Structure 1
Amino acid sequence: MDKKHNNILYRENFLFLILFSLMLSACVTRVDAIKRDKDIGLAKDEGYLLIAVDTNQQLEKIHIRGEKALILTADDLKSGTNYILTKVPAGHYKIRRVDFNSFYGYRLTGGIWGFDVEPNVISYVGTLDVVKNRWSLDARVELSNRSSEAMEFLEGNFPELSGIRSVKYCGPGEDDFFEIVKSVGDNTK
């Protein structure tokens, strides 16, 4: 091939790569955490996702795939325990990747990272524990159920919303904690 033909192929490939990248980024939604205690209204196929992230280091991103591709960003992923409450389409989701920065992260595989968001309820899916070793590239990442702590968070920060909407554990495994608390509360009235 001559040099002119190679130049044209390079430009076409470069243009294709840019367009492909733009299309991919359009399919991913940056999650905006709800900050005010107000029911923002849900369509019949939407629910509230509640996830906690407990980390010893600020994270850059957490990638979640499902009905909609979601990205939790550094704004909500500071060191310590962070609860993120947001409105998403109901369906099955899976945590795919935890990024510590632009160059370093962990891809999560296996079935233990999946969860559901149910329509018209607050779906607590667990606490993502991310503990990074400060002196190496090792980290411990696990999804644990801390329903009682999530209930305290909701009652302290979203009492109106948690009073209107049912709260349900929808992470790995089964837990009736929220239903038991509600039934005890209903019996004392």
Structure 2
Amino acid sequence: MTSQFTPTPLTRVRRLAQAANYDRATVHAIIDAGYVCHIAFCVDGQPHCIPTAHWRIGDKLYIHGSNGSRLMKALAAGAPASVCITHVDGLVLARSAFSHSMNYRSAMLYGQFEVVSDEEEKWASFETFMEKVQQGRWEQARKPNAQEYAATTVLALTIEQAVAKTRSGPPKDDDADMDWPVWAGVLPIETRFGSPIAHRADATV
């Protein structure tokens, strides 16, 4: 496995190409930092884009859902998919309206999902997902019973066509705008966990 993804006609960034990053570790880090991805696909010529939880093991992106969901059924049948994960890190306020921007990290993946039918892999994927939700949770929570296991489809996308696109730093104003009398800079956006809210008074974290 190389450290870089090879650009393809689908992943080659043409607009602001300098923001593209094909580094495998960068793509993986963006995937791992997120809890929700958006998956675009077509059914009978009708495009759909559905958000869903995701997690990664090695070079595979995993998702899960009800056996009867449109997303699971379409992807299990081989529908080509595009997957996007995005993190907005700040609003970039420039001196000109045209130069306003955002600081962000995004990853785009292309390919086809496959049903995870191997029981060992499926159970391992459940554990990895729960550990992403909260470390140690898999050992604490009740494991899926036979009915729940059978009702849940797990799909995996081997990450072969992927690209990251990022922006960071201050505004990029034109020299002619540098003396315009307005504040310019970055308004950081932070995602953090709040204080836990117990379901019942006797519950523990």
Identify which of structures 1 and 2 has the higher relative contact order when contacts are C-alpha pairs closer than 8 Å and 6+ apart.
2
TM-score by length of 2: 0.23
TM-score by length of 1: 0.24
* The structure with more helix, counted as a fraction of residues: 1
